[in-house]
Chain A
Amino acid sequence: MKPSNLPTSATIPNGPNSEDLLVLEGVHTYISQFHILQGVSMTIKRGAATVLLGRNGAGKTTTLKSIMGLTPPRQGTISYDGQPLVGKTTFEIARSGIGYVPEDRGIFREMTSEENLLLAARGETTAEYRRRLEFCLELFPDMGQFLRQKAGTLSGGQQQMVAISRGLMTDNKLLLIDEPSKGLAPIVVKAVIDTLVKLKEHVTILLVEQNFTMASTVGDYFYLIDDGHNITDGLMSQLIGDKELTRQYLGVTVK
């Protein structure tokens, strides 16, 4: 299926330099014999937040995993900042400047929060690590209280703070964030939304999200996929107006 009514780059108002940071073209991914992604194409604009929407099992998580090389695509191209990612191993992809915050947050439960962050600060000097830690503590002032605590004992929201901070400990240009609202209390979701809005100024974000409030507040652009195909995409403001689309594919009604 061809993506329809793609906005041309000329119509994009607030891309800082109207440049494509990450481009997926016709990506096909299989998990064992299941054909999960059946030709997904996307363009992630530099400096903006793009939200990937779709029902359960649409292939959102697999898209992120395909970008990270955790489920390598069999067909299609993924280029990041002008270099191809398909065929590279996960750690090479991560080193090229992509941070990944997986669905279950993927924190190391047996380590303290601080150790989690230290591990993420790959190859940084102590001074640089301090600077980044300061930045994260500004973003999540609460985190200072549980830096020495074992990450496995933290609440979901606290774990999410650690997981997102981990993505900020190196010089990442792009953050892939998978369902940060999953399993969190509504008030915590609100805090995460605020953080992500602040974060948008520093880093390009590709967000997978089911929570429509979060998606519509954080996102500048959206991509809607279903059954491993692109359905549509465009500006977030367009989607909010399109009641039919949101009802059909997201099962939500927008007030």
Chain B
Amino acid sequence: METNLKEAQIKEDGARFTLSADARERLQAAHSLQRKGYYGLSRPGLVIGGLAVVLAVLPFLGIAPTNQRLIAQVLLFSAFAMSYDLLFGFTGIFSFGHALFFGIGAYSVALGALKFGWPMWAGAIAGVLICALLGVFVGFVSLRVQGVFFAMVTLALATTAHNLSGKMVEVTNGESGLSLIQAQDAPNETTTYFLALVLCLVTYFGLNRLVSSPLGRVLVAIRENERRAEMIGYNILRYKIVALVFSAVIAALAGMVYGFRNGIVNPNVLSADISLLPLVMVILGGAGTLYGAIIGATIIQVLNFVLSSREFVDSVKGWFIVGPILEHWLLLLGCIYVVIVLFLPYGIVGTWAMYQPKIRRLFKRTT
């Protein structure tokens, strides 16, 4: 009884700021609902598949180029955010330097094409290999420290890479960056769009498969209780490295598509802002669900697109207090993010899963 009580107290300490016990159960039910898609498609899987079909025919129906570029942006950031979700949402690893992989992916195709004259696919393979190896290296040396310390190491590495990319002017052209448009076999807008679509789909279904496999269960076990997972006999360092490598490779691919989409690769791809974006997206959508990451990426990118447009900025100018906030996209992003962390710590998906039964009950037919 007394040990039970102590555990209960510890649990209560842990849950004080978040969920009641039954809400957490509902959330877990929602998560397992999503992971049921092992052999067949789960509900989010069906929705995403359907959306993919629509998105695949859109270019043939004559979509406006701006919108096509926006959708490509959404898709590639969805993949990037999902790769982050594998680390943060499923394995419980905090990284502040995910831009490291994203940026190295982008730089490897750009450097391969412009400095070594490689074809695009060679640069892409090189980028994937480099990021996989870097993932092993970073994981091996730094995953032994936990929590904020790992975050700081990754932040330090990404900051170093950011500094170097700006300083090594003879290799990277410094702040002005490398223009991929100059490369002959750079994919055009529509090809980039399809690359982003395929990347997003493969990432979603691949990671979905991964997290519902035995490997994925170990990752979740590590997130839930690292000590216990270790006691059971799993080599948690190895599992964490595996997660990091998968995540790094996807981030690198997303970075490449980002490079194609922008037509230019400059030190911004390694900046702290890029590291922060997937975290914000995952938190906003709901960590540990994959499709939450897609929702988060969509909302953030669309908001960014709308709010940064000249018409919008002009229209809100002079509004009291709200005006300056809306004008500064990052400030608004920060405010949204703080509100989400404070009041909806489980993101849109998690909150929906918690309140779904209540909302259903509201609209229940009375007989």
User: Please, which residues of chain A bring their CB within 8 A of the CB of B9?
Assistant: 31-32
The reply to whether B5 and A57 form a contact with Cβ atoms under 8 Å apart is yes
B215 in the interface (beta carbon within 8 A):
no
The reply to whether B8 and A34 form a contact with Cβ atoms under 8 Å apart is yes
Instruction: Please pick, from B1, B11, B12, B21, the residue contacting A57 in the complex, using a CB distance under 8 A.
Output: B1
The reply to whether A36 and B21 form a contact with Cβ atoms under 8 Å apart is no
The reply to whether A32 and B11 form a contact with Cβ atoms under 8 Å apart is yes
A31 vs B139: C-alpha distance when bound (angstroms): 40
User: Please, which residues of chain A bring their CB within 8 A of the CB of B12?
Assistant: 31-32
Q: Using a Cβ–Cβ cut-off of 8 Å, how many residues does chain B contribute to the interface with A?
A: 9
For residues 169 through 207 of chain A, which have their beta carbon under 8 Å from a beta carbon of chain B?
Answer: none
A57 vs B8: C-alpha distance when bound (angstroms): 13
The reply to whether A56 and B1 form a contact with Cβ atoms under 8 Å apart is yes
Cβ of B51 to closest chain A Cβ, rounded Å:
41
A36 vs B21: C-alpha distance when bound (angstroms): 18
A33 in the interface (beta carbon within 8 A):
yes
Cβ of A191 to closest chain B Cβ, rounded Å:
27
B311 in the interface (beta carbon within 8 A):
no
A56 vs B3: C-alpha distance when bound (angstroms): 10
User: Please, which residues of chain B bring their CB within 8 A of the CB of A31?
Assistant: 5, 8-9, 12
User: Please, which residues of chain B bring their CB within 8 A of the CB of A33?
Assistant: 8, 21
**Contact string against A for B residues 11-23, beta-carbon threshold 8 Å, 1 for contact and 0 otherwise:** 1100000000100
A57 vs B11: C-alpha distance when bound (angstroms): 18
B2 in the interface (beta carbon within 8 A):
yes
The reply to whether A34 and B2 form a contact with Cβ atoms under 8 Å apart is no
A9 vs B89: C-alpha distance when bound (angstroms): 62
User: Please, which residues of chain A bring their CB within 8 A of the CB of B4?
Assistant: 34
For residues 3 through 58 of chain A, which have their beta carbon under 8 Å from a beta carbon of chain B?
Answer: 31-34, 36, 56-57
Is chain A's interface secondary structure helix, strand, loop, or mixed overall?
Answer: loop
User: Please, which residues of chain B bring their CB within 8 A of the CB of A36?
Assistant: 5
**From A31, A32, A56, residue with most partner B Cβ within 10 Å:** A32
Cβ of A40 to closest chain B Cβ, rounded Å:
16
User: Please, which residues of chain A bring their CB within 8 A of the CB of B2?
Assistant: 56-57
For residues 44 through 88 of chain A, which have their beta carbon under 8 Å from a beta carbon of chain B?
Answer: 56-57
Closest B residue to A33 using CB positions = B21
A128 vs B100: C-alpha distance when bound (angstroms): 62
A238 vs B11: C-alpha distance when bound (angstroms): 41
Closest A residue to B2 using CB positions = A57
The reply to whether A34 and B5 form a contact with Cβ atoms under 8 Å apart is yes
User: Please, which residues of chain A bring their CB within 8 A of the CB of B8?
Assistant: 31-34
A31 vs B15: C-alpha distance when bound (angstroms): 13
Cβ of B141 to closest chain A Cβ, rounded Å:
31
A34 vs B11: C-alpha distance when bound (angstroms): 12
A33 vs B7: C-alpha distance when bound (angstroms): 12
User: Please, which residues of chain B bring their CB within 8 A of the CB of A56?
Assistant: 1-2
A110 vs B12: C-alpha distance when bound (angstroms): 27
A36 vs B8: C-alpha distance when bound (angstroms): 12
User: Please, which residues of chain A bring their CB within 8 A of the CB of B1?
Assistant: 56-57
For residues 14 through 42 of chain B, which have their beta carbon under 8 Å from a beta carbon of chain A?
Answer: 21
Residues of B within 8 A of A (CB): 1-2, 4-5, 8-9, 11-12, 21
Residues of A within 8 A of B (CB): 31-34, 36, 56-57
Known: A34-B4, A57-B5. 12 other contacts (CB 8 A): A31-B8, A31-B12, A32-B11, A32-B12, A32-B21, A33-B8, A33-B21, A34-B8, A36-B5, A56-B1, A56-B2, A57-B2
Q: Pick the 9 closest A-B CB pairs, nearest first.
A: A57-B1, A32-B12, A32-B8, A57-B2, A56-B2, A34-B8, A31-B8, A31-B9, A31-B5
